[in-house]
């Protein structure tokens, strides 16, 4: 369980470029040749966690929890299994928002714009290393309704993805409001299906307000 100690505006946060530079250096706790972990230490935020390969699947959740290299949580274990069963040799976990919190209700009420901007740089980087037509799995679930700013984050991600020629997928049934299924509790052989981000974002269900 990770409960945020404070809002991210009140802590030191590395830029994505700074964190990536550190993450590419050797690490005593895991093989950098096998893992991409940005930043490369457990902190109140995380940009990227995943395995390295030639054909990665970018999985997009809402926000990070406790996972780290060689210590995946149930959600990331499920994401990895589904990626492999769909023909990918690796998975890269990204999140709509980078603040680490096991319970979405603990996420900060207001978006830290600086953290968001750095997180979008991380997404663009993942797209750049994932091949000519990057495969992106929308997997944030109905949790997106927890904060009003999350749908705006997804909208920006969709724009970045369009510029990079990304192909979007979902796994499992969509919710009544059209939200893509969360990876947890999906069967390991669940197939990926095309996901229309433009249609999704145009639906009223993608626009939510905090209670």
Record the tokens describing residue 102, joined without a space: 């096991």
- CA atoms within a 13 Å half-sphere pointing along the CA-CB vector of 107: 27
**Nearest 10 degrees: CA dihedral of 188, 193, 194, 195?**
-60
By residue count, the chain amounts to 211
Angstrom distance (rounded) from CA 152 to CA 160: 13
Encode pLDDT of 87-140 as tens digits. Answer: 999 999 999 999 999 999 999 999 999 999 999 999 999 999 999 999 999 999
Angle (CA) 168 170 175, round 5°:
130
Q: What is the mean pLDDT of residues 141-152?
A: 95
Residue range 164-169: average pLDDT? 98
What is the arithmetic mean of pLDDT over 66-92? 97
Q: What is the pLDDT of residue 210?
A: 38
What local confidence, expressed as pLDDT, does residue 203 receive?
82
How do residues 179-192 score in pLDDT, each as one tens digit? 999 999 999 999 99
């Amino acid at each position: 369980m990770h409960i945020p100690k404070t809002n991210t505006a009140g802590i030191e946060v590395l830029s994505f470029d700074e964190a990536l530079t550190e993450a590419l250096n050797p690490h005593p706790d895991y093989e950098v040749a096998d893992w991409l972990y940005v930043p490369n230490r457990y902190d109140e935020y995380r940009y990227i966690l995943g395995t390295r390969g030639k054909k990665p699947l970018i999985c997009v959740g809402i926000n990070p929890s406790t996972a780290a290299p060689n210590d995946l949580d149930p959600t990331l274990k499920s994401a990895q299994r589904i990626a492999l069963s769909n023909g990918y040799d690796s998975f890269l976990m990204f999140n709509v928002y980078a603040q680490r919190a096991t319970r979405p209700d603990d996420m900060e009420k207001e978006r830290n714009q600086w953290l968001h901007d750095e997180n979008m740089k991380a997404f663009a980087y993942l797209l750049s290393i994932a091949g000519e037509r990057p495969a992106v799995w929308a997997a944030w679930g109905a949790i997106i309704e927890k904060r009003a700013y999350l749908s705006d984050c997804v909208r920006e991600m969709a724009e970045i993805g369009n510029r990079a020629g990304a192909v979007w997928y979902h796994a499992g049934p969509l919710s009544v409001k059209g939200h893509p299924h969360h990876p947890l509790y999906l069967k390991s052989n669940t197939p990926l299906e095309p996901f229309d981000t433009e249609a999704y974002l145009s639906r009223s269900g993608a626009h939510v307000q905090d209670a």
